[in-house]
Amino acid sequence: MAKKNNRLRVIPLGGLDEIGKNMTVIEYGNDMILIDAGLMFPDEDHPGVDLILPDFSYVTKRKEKLRGIIITHGHEDHTGALPYLLREVGEQTPILGTKLTLGLIKGKLEEHKIRKPKLREIHAGGHVNMGVFGFDFMAVNHSIPDGVAVRVRTPVGDILHTGDFKLDQTPIDGRLTDYADIVKAGKQGIMLLMSDSTNAETAGYTRPEAEVGATLRQIMASADQRVLVASFSSHIHRVQQVCDAAVACGRKVVVTGRSMVNNTKIARELGYLNIADKDIVDAYQMGDIPTRKVCVLCTGSQGEPLSALARMANGDHRTVQIEKGDTVIISASPVPGNEKAVSRVINRLTKAGAHVKHKGSDFVHVSGHGAAEELKLMLNLVKPKYFVPIHGETRHLKAHSELAMKVGVPEKNIFILDNGACLELTESSARVSEHVESGVAFVDGLSVGEMGNVVLRDRQLLARDGIATIVIAIDGQTGKPIGEPELVMRGVAAGEDQKLFDDARSRIVKTLAKTAKEGATDTKVVSNAVRESLSQFLWENVRRRPMIIPIVLEV
């Protein structure tokens, strides 16, 4: 029986209105747990930013209540924030995950010099207690092995968090979604279902992962030279299919790209990736093998500038150079925002003479997320009282809520939340109450969360409109300018047009004459006048507002 004054609080801190940085707080009284702790990769709107984390200050301020962190699977949008979070809440905070998930996490934490984390292995079908909560773990299919859904037993009622899932009937590893446990949970009563919404707009069912293998084998069999395959390094099922296709076609597999090397090594050691030692060779030994006997497995499916495939496309990879007649397979779908980067890499590979196969031209990728019919089936199996769509942009969450209504969940029992929204539940009610601190924290070099929106806006302004610097010397007594002002513009079109440049400097001279006539000797007054005058001039002439930095010196 729930204590009278305690309510169950469910607070997503990330993963809503976006694909990435998944993190959900479940809190009751003096006990709190987290499900997932992910990151998101920046796009062109985040110049200089390395990674984007959820703002987990709500957790750090209450870290004495945190009983543990449950990770549903090993993708970075569910694990990547862990090193940064553990530094704030304590490196001995228990982290629960399946065998492969913990193997990938351990490697990531070692990179961040977190040597002895408290990793606790869980198993599908197992049960764990932490604080007032109990947890049951159910096997689900996804694009990485060992994913689980989590049933959270609370004093108020049970929650089912699906993690990322698809209902693949022929999974590569033979590990089916545990329908029996899901049905059992539904019959016993699930108060709240939180379910993956990524493909809610996609009709029907997601095609099985195994179907991609046939295409990969066909392409490799017909290729006369090397085949290079770019994929997510954590997509172990896809990596397995690439290896199987390569071996079947008599090709040796060459692995390159730091994360691909690390993840394949971990997956092989833990028994999740099966390929004989004789079929994998070092990149430096590749030159001794005929090109028709080589398959290069690499990172770079998202067009990342420093990835192995991008370096190959640019001709500056240390061991692999694209040759005319090579076949390149990009076995992934661009994450929203990465389309231009992927297209750029494809164009460069094509210019180098490669035959490029991608999702738009060949059946070389399927999603790891369930489509509409699978999402409806999950809803029908669970039969929740309340429903919160998660893991998706707003349009995905909305589409998923509409699917829920079609299968009978009342509209008043469906909550489309924002990050930071607090859903409070009792045994007989659910309502959105306060909005806790939320948002993002930027990782910029060695700093985490120190770069605010002002710095980001400045970088965006510099990238879009450029910068103009004016150095001015004035008489400290009269305010009259001494000598000519020095104007330097970078990234401003006017800086390359001599007439416009001269006109801009003339405008500054006129402004200085005006401030001197008015007797202005305060450097701030002169600085503001020059900034406003030059800004207006550039807007009138080139329709740009660069960052303008006047430097006024008193002499």
Tell me, what CATH number does 509's domain have? 3.10.20.580
pLDDT tens column, 61-83: 999 999 999 999 999 999 999 99
Q: Which H or E element spans position 390? A: strand 386-390
Whether residues 58 and 134 fall in one domain: yes
CB of 355 closer than 8 Å to CB of 220: no
User: Is residue 58 domain-shared with residue 155, that is, in the same domain?
Assistant: yes
CA 327 to the chain's CA centroid: 28
- Count of the separate structural domains present in the chain: 3
Q: What is the pLDDT of residues 84-121, one digit of tens each?
A: 999 999 999 999 999 999 999 999 999 889 988 999 99
Residue 1 lies in a domain: no
- Would you say residue 482 lies in a domain? yes
Q: Is the pLDDT of residue 2 over 60?
A: no
In a shared domain, residues 200 and 84: yes
Q: Which of 357, 385, 420 is the last residue of a domain?
A: 357
Task: Please state, in angstroms and rounded to a whole number, the distance separating the CA atoms of residues 436 and 421.
Answer: 6
Contact (Cβ atoms closer than 8 angstroms) between residue 355 and residue 326: yes
> Could you tell me if residue 465 is inside a domain?
yes
The Cα 102–Cα 266 span in angstroms is 10
Q: Is the pLDDT of residue 337 over 80?
A: no
Q: What pLDDT is recorded for position 122? A: 97
> What per-residue confidence (pLDDT) applies to 5?
62
Q: What is the pLDDT of residues 241-262, one digit of tens each?
A: 999 999 999 999 999 998 999 9
The rounded percent of the chain whose pLDDT value lies above 70 is 93
User: What are the DSSP calls for 412-428, one per residue?
Assistant: GGB--PPTTEEEEE-SS
- The verdict on residue 273 lying in a domain is yes
Per-residue pLDDT, 521: 82
- The tokens describing 522, both together, are 């305060």
Query: Between residues 451 and 34, which one has the greater pLDDT?
Result: 34
Phi-psi region of 504 (alpha: psi -120 to 50; beta: other; left: phi over 0): alpha
pLDDT tops 70 at residue 168: yes
CA atoms within 13 A on the CB side of 216: 31
Contact 312, 298 (CB under 8 A): yes
Calpha distance 242→252 (Å, rounded): 11
Question: Per the domain annotation, does 2 fall within a domain?
Answer: no
* Cα 345 to Cα 332: distance, rounded to the nearest angstrom: 14
Arithmetic mean of pLDDT over the chain: 90
Residues 6+ apart with CB under 8 A from 235: 143, 144, 332, 368
Burial class (CB in 10 A: 0-12, 13-18, 19+), 165: buried
pLDDT for 423: 97
Residues 352 and 373 in one domain: no
Whether 182 has a pLDDT exceeding 90, the answer reads yes
- Say if residue 354's pLDDT is above 70: yes
pLDDT given for residue 136 in this prediction: 98
Amino acid found at 143: S
Q: How far apart are CA 455 and CA 219, in angstroms?
A: 47
Q: How far apart are CA 343 and CA 334, in angstroms?
A: 10
Say which residue, 41 or 398, is predicted with more confidence.
398
- Residue 334 counted as domain residue: yes
Give the pLDDT score at 447: 45
- Kindly state whether residue 362 falls inside one of the protein's structural domains: no
- Rounded Cα–Cα distance for residues 518 and 479 (Å): 9
Q: State how far the Cα of 231 lies from the Cα of 333, in Å rounded to an integer.
A: 9
The H or E element spanning position 252 is: strand 252-256
- Give the predicted TM-score (pTM) of the model: 0.81
User: What per-residue confidence (pLDDT) applies to 535?
Assistant: 86
Q: Residue 175's domain is classified under what CATH number?
A: 3.60.15.10
Contact (Cβ atoms closer than 8 angstroms) between residue 25 and residue 34:
yes
For β-strands 227-230 and 327-330, DSSP reports them as: parallel
- The reply to whether 382 and 272 lie within a common domain is no
Other Cβ atoms closer than 10 A to 434? 10
Same domain, 99 and 156: yes
pLDDT at 491 over 80: no
Domain with residue 317: its CATH number is 3.40.50.10710
**b/e map of 131-162 (b: 16 or more CB within 10 Å)?**
bbbebbbbbbbbbbbbbbbbbbbbebbbbbbb
User: What is the residue range of 414's domain?
Assistant: 8-204+367-445
Q: Is a pLDDT exceeding 60 seen at residue 459?
A: no
Pick from 315, 338, 357: which residue ends a domain?
357
Does 49 have pLDDT greater than 80? Answer: no
Choose one of 357, 388, 420: the last residue of a domain: 357
Instruction: Look at residue 3 and tell me if it is in a domain.
Output: no
Helices 236-248 and 258-269 pack at an angle, to 10 degrees, of 90
Do 353 and 379 reside in the same domain of the chain?
Answer: no
* pLDDT one-digit tens code per residue, 270-326: 999 999 999 998 888 888 899 999 999 999 999 888 889 999 999 989 899 999 999
- pLDDT of res. 151: 98
pLDDT tier at 453, thresholds 50, 70, 90: low
* Same domain, residue pair 285 and 271: yes
Considering the domain architecture, whether residues 280 and 334 belong to the same structural domain is answered as: yes
Element (H, E) at 240: helix 236-248
Cα distance between residue 34 and residue 81, in whole Å: 12
Query: Where do we find the tokens 């207006």?
Result: 536
Query: Residue 337: left (phi > 0), alpha (psi -120 to 50), or beta?
Result: left
Give the residue numbers marked as catalytic.
196, 369
Same domain, 93 and 232: no
Average pLDDT value for residue range 132-136: 98
> Is residue 403 within 8 Å of 203, Cβ to Cβ?
no
Q: In what order do the strands lie in the sheet with 127-130?
A: 127-130, 133-139, 148-153, 158-161, 192-196, 386-390
Distance of CA 240 to CAs 177, 220, 290, Å? 19, 15, 23
- d(CA 95, CA 300) in angstroms, rounded, equals 29
Is residue 54 located within the same domain as residue 177? Answer: yes
**Does position 42 have pLDDT exceeding 70, yes or no?**
no
Query: 92 and 196: one domain?
Result: yes
